[in-house]
Chain A
Amino acid sequence: MKKVGFIVLAVILALGLVGAAYAAFSQNLFAQANVQTGNVSVEWSSNTTAVTGNNAGVTAGGDSLSAAVVYGATNATDDTATITVSNAYPGAWVEITPALYNAGTIPVTVNIAAVSSYALYTGDLFINGGLPAAVNIAPGATVSMAPFYVEVAPSSQANGTTLYAQFTLNAISP
């Protein structure tokens, strides 16, 4: 009987201790966070230039050679620029100096690539010397790439015609 009483006393003491532990005062603080991502967005800048010329010894066509650049809409998925070469003739070239604007919120590395259609792939035009190296552009900045040359092929039968070349942008976050 004495042993049972001792056990009951021990259980009561143990429960009392547990009760005390759970009864401790506490208070909560809250850190509430809202995280919004930025975006990658690069556009052709109107500072892009297209200057025409022709190789030495090439006889210019009867009409005046000209080139123009048409850009995709800004803030859109159309990242292309189309080079229009009017009154083309073999040996004529267009020196293009791309200028690109980072309209996004983070820095990007950008290169350009030719779209697999148009005169570049029919053989009437070719890129003489390759495309410029990629450039890094900070948010809100405009950077000009090294110039590159789009030339009318000597074998082209495009005398006096209009030729098109199209380029697109590839931008990645560093």
Chain B
Amino acid sequence: MKKLGLIVLAVVLALGLVGAAYAYWSQSLSINGTVTAGTVAAQFVSTTTPTDPYATTVVTYPVQGNGYTVMDVAVTGAYPGMNLTVPFEVENTGTLPVTVSSTQAWTGGNATLQSDLTVTTTAPAGTLQVSGAFQTGNGNVVISMPSSVSDTSIENQTCTFTVTLSANQAH
């Protein structure tokens, strides 16, 4: 009987301890997390227009919803022997460093003229940073027609092409 009383006492004491523990004051701290994604954004910066003795080049930058993301180049008076370098400058306007690559495709016009023209694009080299001296990079599109071209059927003809510059997040 004495042993039983001891056990009951122990249980009561244990429950008392537990009750005391639950009765302690307490406070909670919380961490509220907000994550906003960065952006990859780039646009053209107006630069010099090429000059040629006989071909005229007009470069415009129509405003788009996301900045100057289009550069329109109009060349008139192209001729055999022409070698026109159209420079462009790309500015990183996002929050992440980017690298730039290019692809080119004919989009219309005289097929013979397309075959007689050579278009070479050099994208800005390296990584464009989000600020500082390396926020912008220079590239160019070279449009040339060999002086060996003698097909007069391409006189006063037009063709079009688009160079797509992809600004990709630098890893």
Contact = CB atoms under 8 A, between A and B. Distances in A.
Interface stretch (A35-43, A48-56, A147-155): A35-43
Contact of A35 (B42, B75, B162, B164): B75
Interface string A26-42: 11111111111111100
Interface string A10-31: 0000000000010011111111
A43 to B, nearest CB: 15
B160 interface: yes
Interface in B49-77: 53-55, 66, 69-77
Contact of A32 (B72, B77, B147, B152): B72
Interface residues of A, number: 24
B96 A25 contact: yes
A174 interface: yes
A135 interface: no
A33 B69 contact: no
A110 B167 CA distance: 50
A38 B160 contact: no
A160 interface: no
Interface in B20-42: 38-42
A11 B42 CA distance: 35
Contacts of A34: 72-75, 109, 158-160
B168 A37 contact: no
B155 A39 contact: yes
B158 A29 contact: no
Contact of B71 (A28, A31, A139): A31
A59 interface: no
A40 B165 contact: no
Contacts of B165: 28-31
Interface of B: 38-44, 53-55, 66, 69-81, 86, 88, 90, 94, 96, 98, 107, 109, 113, 117, 119, 121, 141, 143, 147, 152, 154-169, 171
